[in-house]
Amino acid sequence: MALDTSVPNQKVTIKAGTVLFPEGSAANSLNVLHSGALRYLVEAPGGRKLELFKISGANLTPGASALFGSGRYPFTIVAEQDCVLSTYVMSPSTVGRSLAARSSLGIMVGRSLLREITESFKKVNQLRKIASDMGKTNDNLSLLYYQFNPSVFPDIKPGQPIADPSSEIVDPVLRLARENLKHYFDNGGILPERPTANYVEEDHSQLLVKYYPEEIEFQDGEFNFVRKVILADPNLLAQLFAPDPSMVSYVCDKLGRVQNNITENAKGILEELDENFSLLLGGVESLTEKYFLILDMAANGYATAPPEFVVPILQVVSQKIERALAGHQAIFGSAIPSPSPNIKSFLEKTAGLAKKFEASNPTAKVASNGSGISVDGSADATAIRKELANSASSIIQFSGLGGDAIKEFSAMMVKLKSLKNPLDSDNDTRKLRRSITKTYFDIYAACFQKYVNSGKNVPKPVDLMLKYGFFDETMLDDSQLVFMSTFKDAITSVSDIPIHYGTEWLEKIYKRECPTSLDELGQNFFDKVKMDNRNAVFKKESDLPPDIDNPEARLKFEFGAMYEANVRLTTGSLATYLPILTKYHSQIPLGKAYVTKKMLTDTIHDIMAVDFSVFNREVIYNNPEMGINKEFIQRAIIPDFVIVPSIGSKIMMWQELSIHRGSGSKESRGRIVLPIFVQGDLKSLLIDAFAAFRWELCKTILGPEWNNVGNPSITADYMDYVQFYKKNKDLSIEIKEKLAAEFKRFRNERDIFANDYQLWIKYEAEGVQRLNRVVRGIFYRHIPFARTIREKVAKMPAFGEINNRFVNIRTRKFTELENRYKKYINALGSLPDQLRENMEFYRV
């Protein structure tokens, strides 16, 4: 029975378990807790109750937020322990005057509200993250369901338009799958040829027009100010509120409204959670049941995809089901209502199928992997494992780590290895991984220094760590150990693409063959030295003394500035980041994820065959002997590609130039960093990186003019399009509405540009129209296709007019150069190569 608050100014004792104020009941009192503890509950769909938080102590005013909102309690308040409570008759219409009359009471109410807000915010953010993770999982599983069982979607073909789901489709999973597939394909998404478990964890929100926030959006400057005010010394507050007592009631009103908004947010997230639980686990029309059918087909040999792709995905689904079941129990204190009938069978059959598959496919004897990478099929996994026994100890001892540090690090590794999955994203596991990561890189840096000093003569475990991120053989499968121990990569012919493995790159920095990179704050080595030595006067790098500027110092800077940062960033999943390679990082053989130099070279050439000018920039050419002074020419300067020891789904465009100031800066190479084991489509990831490279290079070279539409460039014209598309007469109302929704998915204009660049390279180059006419015109002018592609698309109506305009502009430029260069022709009738190549660039 709820507390009777109609008795004025009462002081009562409440027994544990008593409901003080039911959710939705009218608030007609201000209540002061003198002792005891209370639980705050909100009602979730299906009649379930969720505990928001508990509070205990004295001088608290539970539920006061109801007096500053609708006048009804947004939650149920229950006595967790025996409580002593005073109640004062009050209503939303009188609370302001009452608090203004007694500022000390107002301060008590404000501080109590702030405590409730803090506790609510923590809980709601936990729910927000769970809901987002489940939403992402369900969306990704719906895409893979189509890939594993396409017969259910006979009308859907990749690359072809997909109709909106019919209202007759009542199955929630089929409706979700169709909606997601429509957005995914419309936005240029390509399903992986070889689905991996990692795909289920990836964020495809941009392609799906979804948003998976991990925290609720809360940016309220007024609240931050009020929070600071109410936390000030009570004596000072009494003096502050004395001249204007209404101030205290205003502060409480603001805090009460914030608390009510957070509670409403919690209820919205609970509805989202309920839908996500239902999609994954609820009833006969759930993802669990859909994947149970796929499981049956795989067990009976009728699956459309080979077992090496299906089984790992089923194992991930099994893990997601177990986690969701445990999560529901933890959140609501009860099992999920009306669960899928085959949950238990799914978990048991998946485990059995996985064992059967492993037994029939000895991983150590895989001779090839379909990606052109050969692995020694005769390699003895047992012998390799024996050779690498106690690798972690060998590496630590070789690094020279101190005794206390060894004990601490070893203890953390033991704890990590005891976890069911060391890549879980819960807070405790993330803290453990962060601590391990810091020491790991200290070990890595020390080992590399000895690697260089010893002429690369190091123990095999150390060599594998430097190359791949290997550390402990017990955390890897036999097949992974066999691959790393036996595979050798080399380009048979000289490549025109500067590609370096991580160790090769660090060695170049050590030998001063390349300038150091920028750090995450945009500082180079010289900038950092000046910051660390502010009392010294260093005007240029040559002023640095040898004790400051030496190979070891440069190596240390590069390692911290670029290398370590990119090992982390290229994973693409900071929430599960661990630099030590484990069997949990990838469910597919490492050989299929490994990026060879030849593979990378071929993929870069594929993209350049479409966007031939991707690495071009305008530089100055001088040749005093021929009387050539300051001729502007186009020159392709391919960036350095650095392959670091990580596994992930992100390629980082780290910097567009290696020298940002002074002579030769515009002719310096950029830097693009990628993981040695790529999880995803290498070409798509490179296209994203090239888009970022184009954007940043244009901004750097043009300087303040990068956004000036009076000086046409890809950045200026595209920024003008994004900022003023609503006023663009060349876009229909329907397209403008679609763009308004689409732009919200991206963090900034560069990301919007990268998305359109993907469509330009993959689809528009094939004559498949995926961009609107405004973007197509901008791209055709600034990112022209190679000549053979232009000749093909020019025959299409969508390209005819813009191609004619492009040809006219380029022809005028070519004629201008031809006339100007006549004076540079030598006696043999030829031009310097640089000028000749510049003319070829403009030839149409």
Mean residue pLDDT of the chain comes to 88
- Residue from 313, 333, 471, 318 nearest 394 by CA: 471
Q: Quick one: tokens of 762?
A: 């993959």
User: Using DSSP, how many helices (H) and how many strands (E) does the chain show?
Assistant: 31, 13
First to last CA, the chain: 86
The strand ranges marked E within 417-460 are: none
Q: CA–CA separation, 229 vs 303, rounded Å?
A: 64
**Scanning the structure block, which residue is given the tokens 């100890």?**
393
pLDDT value, residue 752 = 94
Task: Tell me the backbone φ, ψ of residue 792, rounded to 5 degrees.
Answer: -75, -50
Distances from the Cα of 481 to the Cα of 121, 356, 387, 464, 583, angstroms: 45, 22, 10, 10, 10
pLDDT tens sequence across 149-160: 888 888 887 666
List b or e across 21-49, with b for residues whose CB sees 16 or more CB atoms inside 10 angstroms: bbbebebbbbbbbeebbbbbbbbbeeebb
- Name residues whose C-beta falls within 8 Å of residue 33's C-beta, 6 or more positions apart in sequence: 55, 57, 58, 59, 60, 61, 62, 83, 84, 85
List b or e across 208-217, with b for residues whose CB sees 16 or more CB atoms inside 10 angstroms: bbbebeeebe
List b or e across 684-721, with b for residues whose CB sees 16 or more CB atoms inside 10 angstroms: bbbbbbbbbbbbbbbbbbbeeebbeeeeebbbbbbbbb
pLDDT value, residue 789 = 95
Residue 508 pLDDT > 50: yes
Residue 199 pLDDT > 90: no
Q: Which of 10-14, 222-226, 572-576, 588-592 has the highest average model confidence (pLDDT)?
A: 10-14
User: Any idea what the Cα angle at residue 271 is, between residues 291 and 110, rounded to 5°?
Assistant: 145
pLDDT tens sequence across 619-628: 999 988 888 8
Residue 615 pLDDT > 90: yes
Give 804-813 contacts, CB < 8 A, sequence gap 24+.
Answer: 805/781, 806/780, 806/781, 806/844, 807/844, 809/781, 810/842, 810/843, 810/844, 811/844, 813/842
pLDDT tens sequence across 157-171: 766 678 777 777 888
Q: Quick one: tokens of 581?
A: 């390679």
- Name residues whose C-beta falls within 8 Å of residue 49's C-beta, 6 or more positions apart in sequence: 41, 42, 43, 76, 332, 333
Name the H helices within 282-306.
Answer: 287-299
Count of C-beta atoms within a 10 Å radius of residue 190? 16
pLDDT tens sequence across 435-483: 999 999 999 999 999 999 998 899 999 999 999 999 999 999 888 999 9
pLDDT value, residue 364 = 32
Q: Are strands 671-678 and 652-655 parallel, antiparallel or unpaired?
A: antiparallel
pLDDT value, residue 2 = 66
Ranking 83-87, 216-220, 268-272, 529-533 by mean pLDDT, the lowest is 216-220
pLDDT value, residue 377 = 47
Q: In DSSP terms, which residues pair with 49 in a beta bridge?
A: 43
| Total length of the chain | 844
Ranking 73-87, 239-253, 595-609 by mean pLDDT, the lowest is 239-253
Top pLDDT among 740 and 379 is at 740
Q: Quick one: tokens of 523?
A: 């500082």
Q: Calculate the CA 274 to chain-centre distance.
A: 25
Name the H helices within 79-102.
Answer: 95-101
Query: How many percent of the chain have pLDDT more than 70?
Result: 95
Name the CA radius of gyration of the chain, rounded.
32
pLDDT value, residue 79 = 95
Top pLDDT among 593 and 364 is at 593
pLDDT value, residue 366 = 33
**Scanning the structure block, which residue is given the tokens 């020419």?**
633
Q: Is 577 helix (H, G, I), strand (E, B) or coil?
A: coil
Find the mean pLDDT for residues 608-637: 91
Q: What is the DSSP letter of 476?
A: S
Top pLDDT among 629 and 188 is at 629
Q: CA–CA separation, 779 vs 798, rounded Å?
A: 13
Task: Tell me the backbone φ, ψ of residue 272, rounded to 5 degrees.
Answer: -65, -40
- Residue from 29, 96, 102 nearest 61 by CA: 29
- Per-residue pLDDT band for 101 (boundaries 50, 70, 90) equals confident
pLDDT tens sequence across 383-417: 999 999 999 999 999 999 888 889 999 999 999 99
Q: In DSSP terms, which residues pair with 88 in a beta bridge?
A: 30
Q: Quick one: tokens of 201?
A: 């964890």
User: Any idea what the Cα angle at residue 19 is, between residues 14 and 21, rounded to 5°?
Assistant: 105
Residue 669 pLDDT > 90: yes
H or E segment at 391? helix 391-399
List b or e across 462-490, with b for residues whose CB sees 16 or more CB atoms inside 10 angstroms: bbbbbbbbbbbbebbbbbbbbbbbebeee
Largest Cα–Cα distance in the chain? 112
- Name residues whose C-beta falls within 8 Å of residue 226's C-beta, 6 or more positions apart in sequence: 110, 251, 254, 255
Please say whether the beta carbons of 148 and 306 come within 8 A: no
pLDDT tens sequence across 306-360: 777 788 889 989 999 998 898 888 888 888 888 899 999 999 998 888 888 776 6
- Name residues whose C-beta falls within 8 Å of residue 785's C-beta, 6 or more positions apart in sequence: 610, 611, 612, 765, 793
Task: Tell me the backbone φ, ψ of residue 616, rounded to 5 degrees.
Answer: -80, 150
pLDDT tens sequence across 118-145: 999 989 988 988 999 899 999 999 999 9
Q: CA–CA separation, 353 vs 357, rounded Å?
A: 6
Conformational region of residue 280, where left means phi above 0, alpha means psi within -120 to 50, and beta covers everything else:
alpha
H or E segment at 322? helix 307-332
Q: What is the DSSP letter of 26?
A: B
pLDDT value, residue 370 = 39
Q: CA–CA separation, 233 vs 240, rounded Å?
A: 10
- Per-residue pLDDT band for 493 (boundaries 50, 70, 90) equals low
Residue type, 491: I
Q: Quick one: tokens of 782?
A: 């600034």
Find the mean pLDDT for residues 818-839: 86
Burial of 429 (0-12, 13-18, 19+ CB in 10 A): buried
Q: Quick one: tokens of 826?
A: 């030598």
pLDDT value, residue 220 = 74
pLDDT value, residue 368 = 34
Q: Calculate the CA 778 to chain-centre distance.
A: 29
Q: CA–CA separation, 680 vs 197, rounded Å?
A: 11
Please say whether the beta carbons of 695 and 750 come within 8 A: yes
pLDDT tens sequence across 783-828: 999 999 999 999 999 999 999 999 999 999 999 999 999 888 876 6
Q: What is the DSSP letter of 368?
A: B
Please say whether the beta carbons of 644 and 675 come within 8 A: yes
Distances from the Cα of 762 to the Cα of 163, 465, 543, 687, 745, angstroms: 22, 36, 49, 9, 21
- Residue from 199, 478, 444 nearest 320 by CA: 199
Please say whether the beta carbons of 314 and 357 come within 8 A: no
Find the mean pLDDT for residues 288-295: 90
User: Any idea what the Cα angle at residue 439 is, between residues 438 and 441, rounded to 5°?
Assistant: 70
Name the H helices within 589-654.
Answer: 590-593, 597-608
Q: CA–CA separation, 309 vs 417, rounded Å?
A: 26
H or E segment at 555? helix 551-558
Q: In DSSP terms, which residues pair with 37 in a beta bridge?
A: 56
Distances from the Cα of 696 to the Cα of 655, 692, 715, angstroms: 8, 6, 9
- Residue from 25, 30, 24 nearest 8 by CA: 30
Q: CA–CA separation, 417 vs 409, rounded Å?
A: 12
Half-sphere exposure of 266 (CA within 13 A, CB side): 28
